[in-house]
Amino acid sequence: MVSSSPLEHGWRRAAWTREMLVETIAEKTGIRIHVATMSVALRKIGARRGRPKPTMESTWSKRRKEEAIAGDRGVG
Protein backbone atom coordinates (compact mmCIF):
# COMPACT_ATOMS: atom_id res chain seq x y z
CA MET A 1 0.00 0.00 0.00
CA VAL A 2 2.79 2.44 0.91
CA SER A 3 4.46 2.00 -2.48
CA SER A 4 1.29 3.11 -4.27
CA SER A 5 -0.01 6.66 -4.47
CA PRO A 6 -2.89 7.88 -2.31
CA LEU A 7 -4.41 9.23 -5.53
CA GLU A 8 -4.84 5.63 -6.70
CA HIS A 9 -7.04 5.00 -3.66
CA GLY A 10 -9.30 8.03 -4.04
CA TRP A 11 -7.44 10.51 -1.84
CA ARG A 12 -6.79 14.06 -2.99
CA ARG A 13 -3.21 14.24 -1.68
CA ALA A 14 -0.11 12.94 -3.42
CA ALA A 15 1.65 11.80 -0.22
CA TRP A 16 0.44 9.37 2.43
CA THR A 17 -0.28 10.35 5.99
CA ARG A 18 -0.47 7.73 8.72
CA GLU A 19 -4.15 8.50 9.14
CA MET A 20 -4.83 8.01 5.44
CA LEU A 21 -3.02 4.68 5.49
CA VAL A 22 -5.06 3.53 8.50
CA GLU A 23 -8.33 4.51 6.78
CA THR A 24 -7.39 2.92 3.46
CA ILE A 25 -6.31 -0.34 5.09
CA ALA A 26 -9.54 -0.40 7.12
CA GLU A 27 -11.59 0.06 3.93
CA LYS A 28 -9.68 -2.64 2.01
CA THR A 29 -9.36 -5.25 4.77
CA GLY A 30 -11.95 -4.38 7.39
CA ILE A 31 -9.17 -4.27 9.98
CA ARG A 32 -8.61 -1.00 11.83
CA ILE A 33 -5.35 -0.31 13.61
CA HIS A 34 -4.25 2.63 15.73
CA VAL A 35 -2.14 5.36 14.13
CA ALA A 36 0.69 4.57 16.59
CA THR A 37 0.66 0.95 15.38
CA MET A 38 0.95 2.25 11.82
CA SER A 39 4.00 4.27 12.91
CA VAL A 40 5.65 1.14 14.27
CA ALA A 41 4.87 -0.78 11.06
CA LEU A 42 6.26 2.02 8.89
CA ARG A 43 9.43 2.16 10.97
CA LYS A 44 9.89 -1.61 10.60
CA ILE A 45 9.68 -1.46 6.80
CA GLY A 46 12.09 1.48 6.67
CA ALA A 47 9.61 4.09 5.46
CA ARG A 48 10.79 7.59 6.22
CA ARG A 49 9.02 10.86 6.86
CA GLY A 50 9.29 13.80 4.55
CA ARG A 51 9.67 14.30 0.87
CA PRO A 52 11.69 11.90 -1.23
CA LYS A 53 15.18 13.09 -1.97
CA PRO A 54 15.40 14.38 -5.54
CA THR A 55 17.67 12.43 -7.83
CA MET A 56 18.95 13.28 -11.24
CA GLU A 57 21.41 11.58 -13.53
CA SER A 58 24.44 13.61 -14.46
CA THR A 59 24.82 14.79 -18.05
CA TRP A 60 28.58 14.98 -17.64
CA SER A 61 30.85 12.39 -19.19
CA LYS A 62 32.65 10.01 -16.86
CA ARG A 63 35.94 11.80 -17.63
CA ARG A 64 34.54 15.24 -16.78
CA LYS A 65 33.11 13.99 -13.48
CA GLU A 66 36.44 12.45 -12.54
CA GLU A 67 38.27 15.67 -13.42
CA ALA A 68 35.85 17.79 -11.39
CA ILE A 69 36.20 15.49 -8.41
CA ALA A 70 39.97 15.58 -8.73
CA GLY A 71 39.86 19.40 -8.83
CA ASP A 72 41.45 19.67 -12.27
CA ARG A 73 38.58 21.70 -13.67
CA GLY A 74 36.23 24.20 -12.07
CA VAL A 75 32.59 23.28 -11.89
CA GLY A 76 30.23 25.34 -14.03
- Digit-coded pLDDT (tens) for 9-19: 999 988 899 99
Name the domain count of the chain: 1
Residue 30, pLDDT score: 97
Range of the domain at 44: 1-51
* 56 belongs to a structural domain: no
* 20 belongs to a structural domain: yes
> Do 6 and 16 form a contact (C-beta atoms < 8 A)?
yes
* 63 belongs to a structural domain: no
Residue 65, pLDDT score: 83
Residue segments in the chain with a per-residue pLDDT below the cut of 50: none
* 40 belongs to a structural domain: yes
Nearest to 6 by CA among 22, 40, 55, 41: 22
Hey, is 37 helix, strand or coil? helix
d(CA 17, CA 38): 10
